[in-house]
Amino acid sequence: AMSMVAAGTAYCVQGNHERKLSRWLEGRKVTVAHGLQQTIDQLDAQDRGLREALPAFLDGLRSHVWLDGGRLAVAHAGLREEMIGRGSGAVREFALYGETTGEIDEFGLPVR
């Protein structure tokens, strides 16, 4: 994906998994569950160059992009119309995680 984005042949927006991987790469404490562990294992099998280039790539991803002449907004989890083109922390969080109902599920996670 990184080379395709660099070549202009693909688009990529940041999702919650990319954000978590980025925090892990920075050495911050994160819960390493099955999916993240699988990614870490795959990175360990790659050459060092990928692991060194990945933080800058992940940090450079936008919360949302416009396509089709501005008629289509793409985000990982969701975006309200009034958020399009804005880059605040609240917009970024919404694009990463989407809207919640205000309820908490049996695992202590927000219901979306």
Residue type, 98: G
**What is the pTM (predicted TM-score) of this model?**
0.82
Domain that holds residue 17: 1-61
48 and 33 Cβ atoms separated by less than 8 Å: no
What does the pLDDT read at residue 10? 96
pLDDT tens over the chain, length 112 residues = 899 999 999 999 999 999 999 999 999 999 998 899 999 999 999 989 999 999 999 999 999 998 999 899 999 999 999 998 888 999 999 999 999 899 999 988 889 8
50 and 42 Cβ atoms separated by less than 8 Å: no
Q: Enter the DSSP assignment of 109.
A: P
> Do 2 and 34 share a domain, yes or no?
yes
> Do 6 and 57 share a domain, yes or no?
yes
Q: Enter the DSSP assignment of 112.
A: -
Number of domains in the chain: 2
What does the pLDDT read at residue 47? 87
> Do 75 and 41 share a domain, yes or no?
no
> Do 46 and 71 share a domain, yes or no?
no
> Do 12 and 50 share a domain, yes or no?
yes
> Do 51 and 98 share a domain, yes or no?
no
What does the pLDDT read at residue 32? 95
> Do 15 and 29 share a domain, yes or no?
yes
14 and 96 Cβ atoms separated by less than 8 Å: yes
Q: How far apart are CA 96 and CA 85, in angstroms?
A: 15
